[in-house]
Structure 1
Amino acid sequence: MPHGDITHIDIPVTDMERAKGFYADLFGWEIAAPPGFEDYPMWQAPNKISGGGLAPRSEGFTQPRSYVEVDSIEETLAKVVAAGGTVAMDKSPISDTSWWAIFTDLDGNSVGLYEGVTEVEDA
């Protein structure tokens, strides 16, 4: 996936079961929690390209958040700060081969970053 693509969208919800039924019925999304993420069901659009997750609504997470794939979260966050944005959450691991972070843009929008290794080298 090229640098800069929107790779994931999180939707904040207050009732997980209700939200799963709503989106599955409305859009035909397949919704299931991957192993190790039982409290975070992920949705897949029928095109098998678009996807994201349903996450508990919380303070500071009240609107859907898009995640943009980047080559380096550290370099991107440095550019965010240099351009006047703020880091809301530093780089954190998702797995052994993927990471995420969150920044706030100049208009107060929360935007996620995703960095992942697409090919794992043999040891």
Structure 2
Amino acid sequence: MSKVSTNQPLGTPTWIELGVPDLDRAKAFYRALFGWEYEERSAATGSFTLCLLRGQRVAALRPVTVTAVDAVADVEGESWWHVHLATDDCDRTAKEIAVRGGTVLVPPADVADLGRTAVVEDPTGARFSLWQGRTLAGCELVNEPCALVRNDLACPDPGPARRFYATVFDFTLDGNDDLPGFDFTFLRRPDGHEIGGIFGDPAAPASRWQTVFEVADTDELVALAVAAGGTAGAPEDAPYGRMAAITDPFGTSFSVITRPSPAS
């Protein structure tokens, strides 16, 4: 378990949100999976719902129409949890992204009193946001069941992505001996902390930042997801735990993992 109360270092995945066409149905689905409760908020950019785990803010939902042009949503009808990377200066990092071959889709703006954000796209087309925390540093609980545990970028051409993130966020790039035969590179901050990775997959239809939630029991979570109106792949044992792919009632894809206990 990790509680977060201060802003994370540059480039750390720090916040996630999801746009949904039916907010009530989304709240019911994610409550069934993760036991989340909710807090309604509003800002100049519109209303949104904070997702709470034991009273701590761990994500956000916001209403969108299926026909809306939405810079946060992914293209071609796909839906993914949208990751925010930490920065202590949203405006400066957004300018750096534009200089390094990325695109600023929505310029920096304040989100109520919570923080400052911008929506951007890397040179491979993967969208993410920046988050400069104010009263909200980001996810207040991570690395525990029913909370965010990991984000990785999957893309058909990983070379430009690796150069971009290493340059903008000063990440180092390390190979992964645990996944022989896979084109996977760890992303590490200058302090050595692993923030995620980039997975080269020639069969991927587009570049996407993917989200993984930790759960206490992957098999049980799969059953809960199906009962709540979603779909799920069969659980599989992976090098880092037991995983399954989940799709919510609106077609949003994410993964869950039960990691081995430290004693195992």
**From 216, 226, 246, the counterpart of 1:81:** 226
Distance 1:25-1:51 versus aligned 2 partners, 3 A rule: same
Report the equivalent of 2:261: 118
The residue number in structure 2 matching 1:11 is 153
- Give the letter aligned to residue 34 of structure 1: N
Does the aligned pair in 2 maintain the 1:8–1:50 contact within 8 Å?
Answer: no
Measure how far apart 1:16 and its partner are.
Answer: 2.0
| TM-score normalized by the length of structure 1 | 0.80
- Are residues 1:63 and 2:208 paired? yes
Does the C-alpha gap of structure 1 residues 46 and 105 become closer, same or farther in structure 2, counting only changes over 3 Å?
Answer: farther
Higher relative contact order (CA 8 A, sep 6+): 1
Once the 2 structures are TM-superposed, how far is the Cα of residue 114 of structure 1 from its aligned partner? 1.2
Q: What is the CA-CA distance between 1:62 and the residue it aligns to?
A: 4.7
Q: Which structure carries more strand by proportion?
A: 2
Report how far residue 107 of structure 1 moved: 1.2
**Does the alignment pair 1:72 with 2:214?**
no
Q: Which amino acid aligns with 2:165?
A: Y
Cα deviation 1:1-23 (Å, max 9, x = unaligned): 32112111121222222211111
The residue number in structure 2 matching 1:94 is 238
Tell me the alpha carbon deviations over residues 96-118 of structure 1, each in whole angstroms, 9 at most, x when there is no partner. Answer: x6121111011111011011113
Q: Distance in 2 between matches of 1:18 and 1:75?
A: 39
Q: Match of 1:11, as an amino acid?
A: L
- 1:58 deviates by 3.4
C-alpha separation in 2, matches of 1:84 and 1:8: 24
Cα distance, 1:37 vs structure 2: 2.2
In structure 2, the gaps of 5 or more residues are 2-143
CA RMSD of aligned residues (A): 2.3
Looking at structure 2, the residues matched to 23 and 82 of structure 1 have their Cα atoms a distance apart, in angstroms, of: 39
Aligned counterparts of 2:194 and 2:178: Cα–Cα separation in 1: 21
Match status 1:36 vs 2:178: yes
Which secondary structure does the structure 2 equivalent of 1:90 belong to? coil
CA gap 1:79/1:48 in 2 versus in 1, 3 angstroms: farther
Moved more, 5-14 or 78-87: 5-14
Distance in structure 1 (CA, Å) of the matches to 2:255 and 2:191: 22
Residue identity over aligned pairs, in percent, reads 23
CA distance 1:76–1:49, change in 2 (3 Å)? farther
Which runs of 5 or more structure 1 residues have no equivalent in the other structure?
A: none
For the residue of structure 2 that corresponds to 1:40, the secondary structure is strand
Runs of 4+ in 1 over 6 A off after TM superposition: 47-50
